Amino acid sequence: MMKEVFWEQWFPQMVKWRRHLHTHPELSFQEKETSAFIAERLRELGMEVKTGVGGYGVIGVLKGEKPGKTVVLRSDMDALPIDDGKSCEYKSSVPGVMHACGHDGHASILLGAAAYYSTFGEEIQGEIRFMFQPAEELCPGGAIEMIKDGALAGADVVYGLHLWTPLPLGTAASAPGPLMAATDEFFIDITGRGGHGGMPHVTADALVAGAALVMQLQTIVSRTVDPLQPAVVTVGTIQAGTAQNVIASSCRLTGTVRTFDEHTRVLIRERIERMARTVAETYATEASVRYLSGYPAVVNDGDETARFFRTAPKVFAADQVVLSPKLMPAEDFAYYLREIPGCFMFVGAGNPEKEAIYPHHHPMFDFDEDAMLHGVKLLIEMVASYQNGE
């Protein structure tokens, strides 16, 4: 079968898979039906299929007749707790849950790659694993458990991609080294002594202490972190008080931290914990800090990123393969890159003509489905380059 004919037959199937998944989304750690759907499609392609990997994870395995190394291709498959605001035939059928980040497309891309190699198995040198991971959107994520369950055992390299609407259709991007940020969360509870709003002198105002702490936390990046190291400290919520004439006895702050290197990550945590205690004491209150370390930074392997820049022009116009800036969103693909070399890539999926203009995690999010064809061809070219030693 000619490859052009293959894609004429299979790309419409990829679109159908994507729309089925979009209509039937499942949240992180709840992907039971999604997992079963994917496993059945892989079995139909004649693959060895492993289910229940790290929870609802699924791995399809194809081994070539020629000896060679093992390549892992990864897709996520979970949805988000967002109401689908679109009006289309494949709108989510589950209230309050939708694929607002493109994971339905990622899963369909990987199924497309599985279909390709099931048809052109003579191209395989070694082994290819098609890894469908649950729970990318919610810490601690699904990658850790899949690794514990042996998803990378004996593997040599791992590739993953993300459909990205900020990039226009027909483009691709990546970068060597740190690409996406580590993400941590903090929860600070300040305890004071409440009282009458007209008698502040006999109270310890937790709200005032919290407000002061919000402003002080902003100095961590500007006055503590190396200016050459990107970092973000954001206070997302502050909750205190019950009435306009009551001084608050408690105040809660929550926020997120984004960094790209471990030294800065540790430094910011130490500063937040110390600052919370000292600012609270200044206002005769007390502070307790709960700090949750989330995903580490996505750090691409230099050689595999160079492979991307050599290989992607086979799929995209050479001037449309670009160096990505560092991005503050996080990805648990980072855990795989801590185990073996690999590369995480972005495939442009934005297109105003198809209303693919909304940011990820937006109720109106959608992407140009033609980007899936670009994505599957990119993965195939990366595998071929690696297995052929190019």
Please give the positions annotated as active site. Answer: 78, 136
Please list the residues that pair with 196 across neighbouring strands.
246
Q: How far is CA 2 from the centre of its chain?
A: 35
Q: Indicate the Cα dihedral angle 329, 332, 335, 336, nearest 10°.
A: -110
Instruction: Judge residue 207's burial from the number of C-beta atoms within 10 Å of its C-beta, 0-12 exposed, 13-18 middle, 19 or more buried.
Output: buried
At how many degrees (to 10) do helices 370-387 and 302-311 cross? Answer: 120
Which among 143, 142, 285 has a CA at the least distance from the CA of 203?
285
The values of phi and psi at residue 184, to 5°, are -125, 160
Q: Do 163 and 77 form a contact (C-beta atoms < 8 A)?
A: no
Q: How far is CA 240 from the centre of its chain?
A: 32
| CB atoms inside a 10 Å sphere around CB 10 | 17
CA–CA separation, 74 and 128 (whole Å): 11
CA–CA separation, 17 and 306 (whole Å): 32
CA–CA separation, 159 and 118 (whole Å): 19
Tokens describing residue 365: 């999010």
Which among 257, 43, 39, 41 has a CA at the least distance from the CA of 134?
39
Tokens describing residue 83: 């109401």
Question: How crowded is the C-beta side of 236, counted as CA atoms within 13 Å?
Answer: 9
Q: Do 353 and 73 form a contact (C-beta atoms < 8 A)?
A: no
CA–CA separation, 46 and 129 (whole Å): 14
CA–CA separation, 300 and 157 (whole Å): 11
Cα distances (Å, whole numbers) of residue 200 to 190, 251, 322:
17, 16, 58
